[in-house]
Structure 1
């Protein structure tokens, strides 16, 4: 099945709705895909709770990871081949890092991370470096190879060009998820001319640059990203489902800390509740397990946990109003909090301010917590110029962070306050923020 240089004797392909075909010729990549840790990604949705709004968004992190691998393969096998500044000895390292970059994502990843103080990038590196099937496969390339792959994903690898392929403001990760998420949600915002971008990518010493003739394709890519964040990723109804999901996890964790007796012991959650999760326990977690507990928790005696789980499972989500964290509205929120308590509705779980924020493109700002390497255009003379200095479109949004706040609450609980009409009326008046 394998020839002397580690190639499969026959190329393997995955049929893919975004890239048409994903090509695998290297035995190392084929064997990594077959590991239990990588196969787990089939059971983790790429877009978390977004399927409750865009019903087609059932695609997995497995799909996405293969897509990122394919884009990087095309860049280095086609666009970079035989070019100055590119060392083909880094090829397999790039492909492995692209394939494994999301390996540590957990079920409903971002909500889980916030509640249980986890970091998927830490777990990605722990899986790559730990006693795992992935580590065993990577070690075939040498004892230090897993460490190099982990360093690329952690952005600490010495060759910054390699890092920029999967982590920069125009990288394979973003190029795949924008197109893939647009395809599966059925929206048109995330589409851009990736073929053109791949053709004009050029390797430099520390990053990928873009030939100036490809500037308009890059503009399109950045605007696609901007639209996807506000029309899909930050959709207010998706955020409502994430608020409920987060509150379920907070409630279950609190009940465990108070020695509540669950009808069915949540054994898969114990290490999460204690915030002492090891890699072996972590890779056993997937969304089917979490949804199983949400199903059984509907029957729990704790009214808050059972209600929140029913809401999530049956898509009975919270309503929302626009909210601005200024003095006037913060005073109203404090008043609402007291009224909810008088009405017997726990505001900790049923009155929630949720904020979303995105910075679509930024130029280099040294010393900031998140330093963003800018996109550079390569002019015909060979000179490099930062994108926003050449593009009026990009300049208009550069460095401009957009933030949005909403207040979520259970409309049905408020409607049911028939015996507390005065409280109900005051709540309804205040919710007309």
Structure 2
């Protein structure tokens, strides 16, 4: 029997709090889960620093990747199987892409990427195509199979239907993380009727479409996503932790470039600091490694690195105020001047952070971030873009919401052992008095 069709002698299951069980019958999937690159995802949290806000948010990219795989498995095995528009030969490609879609995430994911100008999707493709255990498993299917999987994840595959299952405005990735993140954070916002959505999904040549009768379930899904972004993903306390995490990495990088002699040399970060990140070095980084350095750097001579690491490890986070950088740039400049005068480096201790989300949009040719819309399959067989049919979705379509906060260490501003008058001026300017 060809490796691509080989089944396990007995089905394996993972007990899952969201989907009850994750079912694995295919030898290829089981072997991929066992690779070191996939197991590494156990050591990377799905929600980065959110555990410092919602203490239950300790779940990993490993959990989420299995969940995305399970949703896709149900779609291709239970919903699409036997339908003329679905080519069952694409089944294994779809399952592998779903399982591996987040393989390249680094520790604390997006904060980490911003500091070092990295792209986790590029690393996902590099792991799939490189000298890795994952590549060896995929190559056993076919020599060109790793490239096919990488193209689905890169959204360059000719098979747009498969791409849309894993990356679109209604995909298995979003359907899993909304429910999983809601479960582990303990909020109710991310819940929606996934069972109903799966039942009304239909394959088309270029994308998944939704039967007209399922429109209200999709409305609920989109509103759940909207609420999760503003109540969980963009929570201001989580963003404060991200600000400090980002500044720790910036400070360590700046010190390295200045020739600072670390007590605890940042061996695992050297290729990042030198802008030549080898895949081998990247794969050695996980959150346990980063937290080790943060723990040890609390003993460094540099007062800024020492303080920022202590703040992150002890959850002594920055406070925040509402702030509009477009209207309050003079105030920001004045604060920077006062911070410097008070001996508080504004580069690390006065930070504007902005969050922005576009909950749903339809196709706008030529615009940045073109989005494939969700289409409803009407009773007469025609396709109709969702916001043209739903008043609820139309009300939020194309509307980007942005939020700005100004972060700073309030405890330092109330410490009047020195620079009392300057700190009082700062507090007054920040409306803390």
Cα displacement (A) at 1:396: 0.3
> CA contact under 8 A between 2:148 and 2:157: conserved in structure 1?
yes
In structure 2, how many angstroms separate the alpha carbons of the residues matched to 1:189 and 1:4?
Answer: 39
- List gaps (5 residues or longer) in structure 2: none
In structure 1, how many angstroms separate the alpha carbons of the residues matched to 2:361 and 2:431?
Answer: 36
In structure 2, how many angstroms separate the alpha carbons of the residues matched to 1:147 and 1:365?
Answer: 30
Residues 70-112 of structure 1: CA deviation (Å, up to 9, x unaligned) = 0000001011011121100000000000000000000001111
1:265 is paired with a residue whose SS is coil
Match of 1:431 in 2: 430
1:221 maps to 2:221: yes
1:11-30 matched pairs, under 5 angstroms: 11-30=11-30
1:411 maps to 2:410: yes
1:2-17 matched pairs, under 5 angstroms: 5-17=5-17
> CA contact under 8 A between 2:73 and 2:95: conserved in structure 1?
yes
> CA contact under 8 A between 1:320 and 1:406: conserved in structure 2?
yes
In structure 2, how many angstroms separate the alpha carbons of the residues matched to 1:164 and 1:257?
Answer: 43
In structure 2, how many angstroms separate the alpha carbons of the residues matched to 1:368 and 1:161?
Answer: 22
2:15 is paired with a residue whose SS is strand
Residues 134-169 of structure 1: CA deviation (Å, up to 9, x unaligned) = 000000111100000000000000010010000000
Cα displacement (A) at 1:5: 3.3
Match of 1:385 in 2: 384
> CA contact under 8 A between 1:7 and 1:27: conserved in structure 2?
yes
- List gaps (5 residues or longer) in structure 1: none
1:262 is paired with a residue whose SS is coil
Match of 2:337 in 1: 338
2:365 is paired with a residue whose SS is coil
Cα displacement (A) at 1:367: 1.1
Cα displacement (A) at 1:425: 1.9
Cα displacement (A) at 1:323: 0.3
Match of 1:188 in 2: 188
Match of 1:251 in 2: 251
Match of 2:262 in 1: 262
Cα displacement (A) at 1:424: 1.7
> CA contact under 8 A between 1:2 and 1:9: conserved in structure 2?
no
> CA contact under 8 A between 1:43 and 1:286: conserved in structure 2?
yes
In structure 1, how many angstroms separate the alpha carbons of the residues matched to 2:87 and 2:11?
Answer: 24
Q: Which moved more, 1:24-33 or 1:266-275?
A: 266-275
In structure 1, how many angstroms separate the alpha carbons of the residues matched to 2:266 and 2:417?
Answer: 37
1:395 maps to 2:394: yes
When normalised by structure 2's length, the TM-score is 0.98
Match of 2:172 in 1: 172
Question: How many residues get paired?
Answer: 432
Match of 2:45 in 1: 45
Q: CA RMSD in A?
A: 1.2
Residues 361-409 of structure 1: CA deviation (Å, up to 9, x unaligned) = 0010111221100000000111000000000000000000000000000
Seen in structure 2, the aligned counterparts of structure 1 residues 391 and 296 have a Cα distance that, compared at 3 Å, is same
Seen in structure 2, the aligned counterparts of structure 1 residues 429 and 23 have a Cα distance that, compared at 3 Å, is same
In structure 2, how many angstroms separate the alpha carbons of the residues matched to 1:142 and 1:393?
Answer: 46
Residues 340-372 of structure 1: CA deviation (Å, up to 9, x unaligned) = 000000000000000000000001011122110
1:314 maps to 2:314: yes
Seen in structure 2, the aligned counterparts of structure 1 residues 4 and 411 have a Cα distance that, compared at 3 Å, is closer
In structure 2, how many angstroms separate the alpha carbons of the residues matched to 1:260 and 1:83?
Answer: 63
1:127-146 matched pairs, under 5 angstroms: 127-146=127-146
In structure 1, how many angstroms separate the alpha carbons of the residues matched to 2:211 and 2:70?
Answer: 22
> CA contact under 8 A between 2:3 and 2:28: conserved in structure 1?
no
Residues 214-243 of structure 1: CA deviation (Å, up to 9, x unaligned) = 000000000000000000000000000000
Match of 2:101 in 1: 101
> CA contact under 8 A between 1:201 and 1:209: conserved in structure 2?
yes
1:28-177 matched pairs, under 5 angstroms: 28-177=28-177
Match of 1:363 in 2: 362
> CA contact under 8 A between 1:229 and 1:358: conserved in structure 2?
yes
In structure 2, how many angstroms separate the alpha carbons of the residues matched to 1:277 and 1:50?
Answer: 27
1:204 maps to 2:199: no
In structure 2, how many angstroms separate the alpha carbons of the residues matched to 1:84 and 1:360?
Answer: 32
In structure 1, how many angstroms separate the alpha carbons of the residues matched to 2:284 and 2:399?
Answer: 40
Match of 1:420 in 2: 419
Cα displacement (A) at 1:3: 9.1
In structure 2, how many angstroms separate the alpha carbons of the residues matched to 1:245 and 1:139?
Answer: 38
Residues 174-227 of structure 1: CA deviation (Å, up to 9, x unaligned) = 000000000000000000000000000000010000000000000000000000
> CA contact under 8 A between 1:85 and 1:204: conserved in structure 2?
yes
Cα displacement (A) at 1:326: 2.9
